[in-house]
């Protein structure tokens, strides 16, 4: 009865899909943030075979024979990401003759379909999951196995492959899942526009990142109206802008690098209230909104709706800089766009960014022992997902892949020249923070209160103080502290 009650709640909410990681970790960003890797491959999302709707009877027959244990691995990505998952499964199958993994692609209504399978007592053995919608709620019900116990009890498991920042810890002893498909927020820019308007290119290293005032001034120099005047010119026409200095991402991963830079977090340090209601939180949000309504260097929501995606915007010289997810490299590289990446500017003492990724979870089924072998393979096999590193879409979550020899081997001549310094290095030195969905309890309910209020900020109808103050009590009522403690 307890499980059925949880599943009823999940089914009611599962249509509201959140961001997540397995290749599209920031995939639910606003229109301003351009396309994700998953979006780019959406047309290929229906390429799953009959395995997409496989039944329990099909998977049970082989295991009952005692010859081969059939394992299903569910994921939501299509295109190249799906192809790599299938390649990983084939490689695993070739080296584990007693186990056979089939990739089950579920490109639409993923959470709903997973909860429906669970409700029907047809639990897939291994699943990609978003922590905020399924992973932690299912772990709390015991539907997801404790991965930490399996790792601790396996003397052959190479723990050097595991990074603390990629663990999804329900509590101090219970690992509900492990990160896969890491991507972080970065700044993309158009070198041609910087050269054309005589602006020095932004620093690649986070140690040398622009302070906020320097960033704003340079964004003004790169925002050009129809008459060729920049946003610093007294005669600049903000109603007729031809080139924008910057576009920003209007979702949690777009704000958090700057709140981290100011020393804040999504919740206050004691886990009792939202971080956006602090002076630092309101300052971050107001500074981002001021890019549009004070400095006129970023488009309004209305203008954003008619602007091209990041690839075309950079290629046609309509945008000089963009705060976006690292996954956009895959599209930009494939399209042959001339671009580079740079450190996000800092609002506080130290520039920061944030990683986004989904989780791979071991489900609590009678086949869990065999299924763990596949999870172990995904976590520890060096180069298992290498094609996605080569494409620019993903970064590793296997810590043994974070060495110069390996990393340099997957950075191609199509990657932007600053890729290692700007995108890879922050994952190694702690500049890229763990996604807040990995440790904030009740994240979805809190975010559902905050997001509509911020729409009033981005439209220019309210200040950050007014927007956050209007929902502070309601948001705080949903705050329940942190996971992992």
Checking if the pLDDT of 431 tops 50, the result is yes
Among the ranges given (3-17, 36-50, 358-372), the one the predictor scored with the smallest mean pLDDT: 36-50
How far apart are alpha carbons 288 and 276 in whole angstroms?
Answer: 13
Q: What is the mean pLDDT of residues 72-82?
A: 95
In degrees, rounded to 5, the angle at the alpha carbon of residue 84 between the alpha carbons of residues 80 and 88 is 170
How far apart are alpha carbons 309 and 331 in whole angstroms?
Answer: 10
pLDDT digit string, tens, across residues 209-234? 999 999 999 999 999 999 999 999 99
3-state secondary structure the chain: CHHHHHHHHHHHHCCCCCCCCCCCCCCCCCHHHCCCHHHHCHHHHHHCCHHHHCCHHHHHHHHHHCCCEEEEEEECCCHHHHHHHHHHHHHHHHHCCCEEEEEEECCCCHHHHHHHHHHCCCCCCEEEECHHHHHHHHHHCCCECCHHHHHHCCCCCCHHHCCHHHEEEEECCEEEEEEEEEEEEEEEECHHHHHHCCCCCCCCCHHHCCEHHHHHHHHHHCCEECCCCECCCCCCCCCCEEEEEEECCCCHHHHHHHHHHCCCCCECCCCCCEHHHCHHHHHHHHHHHHHHHCCCCCCCHHHHHHCCCHHHHHHCCCEEEEEEECCHHHHHHHHCCCCEEECCCECCCCCCEEEEEEEEEEECCCCHHHHHHHHHHHHHCCCCCHHHHHCCCCECCCHHHCCHHHHHHCCCCCCCCCHHHHHHHHHHHCCEECCHHHCECCHHHHHHHHHHHHHHHHCCCCCHHHHHHHHHHHHHHHCCCECCC
Radius of gyration over alpha carbons of the chain, in Å? 23
How far apart are alpha carbons 132 and 11 in whole angstroms?
Answer: 14
* Beta carbons within 8 Å of 228's beta carbon, 6+ residues apart: none
Tell me how far apart the terminal alpha carbons of the chain are, to the nearest angstrom. 28
Handedness of CA 429, 212, 464, 34 (dihedral sign): negative
pLDDT tier, 258 (very low <50, low <70, confident <90, very high otherwise): very high
Checking if the pLDDT of 131 tops 50, the result is yes
- pLDDT given for residue 13 in this prediction: 43
Domains of the chain: 2-183+357-426 (3.40.190.10), 185-355+439-478 (3.40.190.10)
pLDDT digit string, tens, across residues 16-74? 333 333 333 333 333 333 333 333 333 333 333 333 333 333 333 344 456 899 999 99
- pLDDT given for residue 8 in this prediction: 43
pLDDT digit string, tens, across residues 259-292? 999 999 999 999 999 999 999 999 999 999 999 9
How far apart are alpha carbons 243 and 189 in whole angstroms?
Answer: 13
Q: What share of the chain has pLDDT > 90, as a percent? A: 85
How far apart are alpha carbons 327 and 43 in whole angstroms?
Answer: 17
pLDDT digit string, tens, across residues 159-209? 999 999 999 999 999 999 999 999 999 999 999 999 999 999 999 999 999
pLDDT tier, 423 (very low <50, low <70, confident <90, very high otherwise): very high
- pLDDT given for residue 132 in this prediction: 86
8 Å CB contact between 377 and 384: yes
pLDDT digit string, tens, across residues 433-448? 999 999 999 999 999 9
Q: What is the mean pLDDT of residues 132-136?
A: 92
How far apart are alpha carbons 266 and 252 in whole angstroms?
Answer: 9
pLDDT digit string, tens, across residues 333-356? 999 999 999 999 999 999 999 999
């Amino acid at each position: 009865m307890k499980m059925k009650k949880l599943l009823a709640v999940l089914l009611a909410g599962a249509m509201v899909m959140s961001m997540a990681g397995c290749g599209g970790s920031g995939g639910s960003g606003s229109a301003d943030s351009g396309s994700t890797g998953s979006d780019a491959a959406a047309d290929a999302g229906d390429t799953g075979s009959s395995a997409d709707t496989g039944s329990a009877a099909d998977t049970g027959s082989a295991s009952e024979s005692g010859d081969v244990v059939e394992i299903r691995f569910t994921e939501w990505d299509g295109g190249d990401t799906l192809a790599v998952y299938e390649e990983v499964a084939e490689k695993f199958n070739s080296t584990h003759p007693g186990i056979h993994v089939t990739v089950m692609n579920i490109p639409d209504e993923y959470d709903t379909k997973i909860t429906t399978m669970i409700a029907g007592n047809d639990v897939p053995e291994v699943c990609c999951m978003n922590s905020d919608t399924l992973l932690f709620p299912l772990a709390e019900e015991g539907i997801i196995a404790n991965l930490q116990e399996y790792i601790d009890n396996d003397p052959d498991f190479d723990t050097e492959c595991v990074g603390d920042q990629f663990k999804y810890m329900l509590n101090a002893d219970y690992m509900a899942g492990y990160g896969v498909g890491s991507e972080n927020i970065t700044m993309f820019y158009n070198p041609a526009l910087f050269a054309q308007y005589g602006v020095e290119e932004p620093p690649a290293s986070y140690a040398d990142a622009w302070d906020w005032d320097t960033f704003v001034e340079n964004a003004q120099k790169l925002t050009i109206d129809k008459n060729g005047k920049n946003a610093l010119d007294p005669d600049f026409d903000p109603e007729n802008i031809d080139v924008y200095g910057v576009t920003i991402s209007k979702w949690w991963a777009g704000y958090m690098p700057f709140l981290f830079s100011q020393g804040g977090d999504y919740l206050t340090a004691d886990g009792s209230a939202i971080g956006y209601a602090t002076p630092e939180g309101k300052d971050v949000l107001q500074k981002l909104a001021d890019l549009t309504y004070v400095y006129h260097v970023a488009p309004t929501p209305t203008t954003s709706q008619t602007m091209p995606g990041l690839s075309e915007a950079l290629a046609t010289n309509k945008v000089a800089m963009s705060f976006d997810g690292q996954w956009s490299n895959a599209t930009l590289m494939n399209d042959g766009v001339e671009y580079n990446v740079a450190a996000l500017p800092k609002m506080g003492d130290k520039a920061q960014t944030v990683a986004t990724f989904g989780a791979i979870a071991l489900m609590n089924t009678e086949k869990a022992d065999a299924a763990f072998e596949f999870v172990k393979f995904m976590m520890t096999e060096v180069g298992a997902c290498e094609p996605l590193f080569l494409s620019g879409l993903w970064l590793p979550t296997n810590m043994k892949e974070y060495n110069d020899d390996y990393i340099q081997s997957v950075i191609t001549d199509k990657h932007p020249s600053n890729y290692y310094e700007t995108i890879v290095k922050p994952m190694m030195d702690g500049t890229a923070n763990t996604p807040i969905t990995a440790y904030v309890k009740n994240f979805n309910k809190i975010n559902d209160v905050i997001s509509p209020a911020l729409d009033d900020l981005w439209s220019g109808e309210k200040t950050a103080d007014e927007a956050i103050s209007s929902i502070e009590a309601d948001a705080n009522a949903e705050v329940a502290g942190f996971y992992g403690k």
